[in-house]
């Protein structure tokens, strides 16, 4: 029995990476006087590392290893990432990152049906709140009973930790929930937590290996709640619902 939907955020609710996070990272790098530019292609590669701070560390280790040895390197990364977050929040708050097709309709259907909603993401809670409020409704953060975000856990996706944390807060078994993810790291995290998982491919993830997903869709526009319920039943793989209003 399906009791709750657990949504990833970046790439799943909205295409936040290329024109959101990436642009904010680059602006923070420029403000800090660093000669770094994360091009769209490079950023696609860097996304194999989950988490903004972790991504900066990974980039330094690969392209600027001297910097890693400087005193208080951790503080440097933290400040750089705080500045990036402030810039990202400004962009999100101005309405710069709309929801992907089908997301608003599915959320409304789930709420009307009394399903519980949760978030499991690598980005920070403040980024999530800002995105939900700006792209859905001023009270939309309250629609989600549990928000597992950012540094709540140290091991980020593909580790299952954030999903296990969310499941514990919901007080539900993995089999009673459905995770919705856009990336291989996210899928691996959800599967490792035992969650049936639906994939909605995103800009940067269409080439990822989604082995183990219940289904892989180009977006959520054809994923009605009744279809999700049928698919969630072990062995159930119904056709997508082509009749739903895709404009919602």
Burial of 154 (0-12, 13-18, 19+ CB in 10 A): exposed
Q: Which of 51, 96, 98, 212 binds ligand XBP (CB under 6 A)?
A: 51
SS3 at position 178? strand
Taking CB atoms, the residue at the shortest distance from ligand XBP is 52
Q: b vs e for 25-41, b when ≥16 Cβ sit within 10 Å of the residue's Cβ?
A: bbbbbeeeeeebebeee
157 binds, among ligand XBP, Mg ion, none (CB under 5 to 8 A by kind): ligand XBP
Annotated catalytic residue 241: no
How far, in Å, are 18, 81, 94, 102, 112 from residue 134 at the CA level?
18, 22, 7, 17, 21
Strand 146-148 to 116-120 pairing: parallel
- Binding residue for Mg ion (CB under 5 A) from 4, 8, 17, 80? 8
What's the token pair of residue 147? 């928000």
Q: Does 20 bind ligand XBP (CB under 6 A)?
A: no
Question: Tokens for 3?
Answer: 């009791």
Q: Binding of ligand XBP at residue 17 (CB under 6 A)?
A: yes
Contact call for residue 102 and Mg ion (CB under 5 A): no
41 is catalytic: no
- Please report whether residue 8 would count as binding ligand XBP according to CB under 6 A: yes
Name residues contacting Mg ion, limited to 11-70 (CB under 5 A). Answer: 11
Is the Cβ of residue 11 or residue 196 nearer to ligand XBP in the bound state? 11
Q: Which long-range contacts (CB under 8 A, 24 or more apart) does 210-213 make?
A: 210/184, 212/187, 213/181, 213/187
> Which window, 1-9, 27-35, 96-104, 163-171, contacts Mg ion (CB under 5 A)?
1-9
Which of ligand XBP, Mg ion, none lies near 15, with the C-beta cut-off 5 to 8 A by kind? none
Q: Which of residues 176-195 bind Mg ion (CB under 5 A)?
A: 182-183, 186
Least Cβ distance, residue 47 to Mg ion (angstroms): 9
Candidates 26, 124, 197, 221; binder of ligand XBP (CB under 6 A) is 124
Which residues from 170-189 bind ligand XBP, rule CB under 6 A?
183, 185-186
Q: How many residues bind ligand XBP (CB under 6 A)?
A: 19
Evaluate whether 99 touches 14 at the Cβ level (below 8 Å).
yes
59-77 burial: b if 16+ Cβ within 10 Å, else e: bbeeeeeeeeeeeeeeebb
44 CB neighbour count, 10 Å cutoff: 17
Q: Tell me which residues in 184-243 interact with Mg ion (CB under 5 A).
A: 186
Beta carbons within 8 Å of 160's beta carbon, 6+ residues apart:
189, 190, 192, 193
Binding site for ligand XBP (CB under 6 A): 8-11, 17, 21, 50-52, 85, 121-124, 127, 157, 183, 185-186
Catalytic residue list:
8, 10
């Amino acid at each position: 029995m399906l009791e709750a939907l657990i949504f990833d955020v970046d790439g799943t609710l909205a295409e936040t990476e290329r024109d959101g996070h990436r642009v904010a990272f680059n602006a923070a790098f420029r403000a800090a006087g660093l000669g770094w530019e994360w091009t769209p292609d490079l950023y696609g590669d860097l996304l194999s590392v989950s988490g903004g701070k972790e991504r900066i560390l990974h980039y330094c280790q690969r392209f600027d290893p001297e910097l890693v040895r400087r005193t208080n390197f951790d503080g440097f990364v933290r400040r750089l990432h705080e500045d990036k977050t402030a810039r990202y929040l400004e962009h999100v708050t101005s309405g710069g990152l709309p929801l992907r097709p089908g997301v608003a309709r599915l959320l409304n259907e789930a709420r009307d049906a009394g399903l519980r909603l949760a978030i499991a993401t690598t980005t920070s809670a403040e980024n999530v709140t800002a995105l939900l409020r700006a792209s859905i409704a001023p009270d939309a953060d309250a629609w989600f009973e549990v928000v597992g975000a950012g540094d709540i856990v140290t091991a980020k996706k593909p580790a299952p930790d954030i999903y296990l944390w969310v499941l514990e807060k919901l007080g539900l078994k993995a089999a009673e929930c459905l995770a919705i993810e856009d990336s291989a790291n996210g899928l691996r995290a959800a599967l490792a937590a035992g969650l049936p998982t639906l994939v909605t491919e995103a800009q940067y993830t269409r080439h990822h290996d989604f082995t183990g997903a219940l289904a892989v869709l180009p977006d959520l526009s054809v994923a009605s709640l009744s279809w999700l319920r049928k698919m969630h039943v072990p062995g159930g793989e119904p056709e997508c619902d082509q009749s739903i209003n895709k404009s919602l």
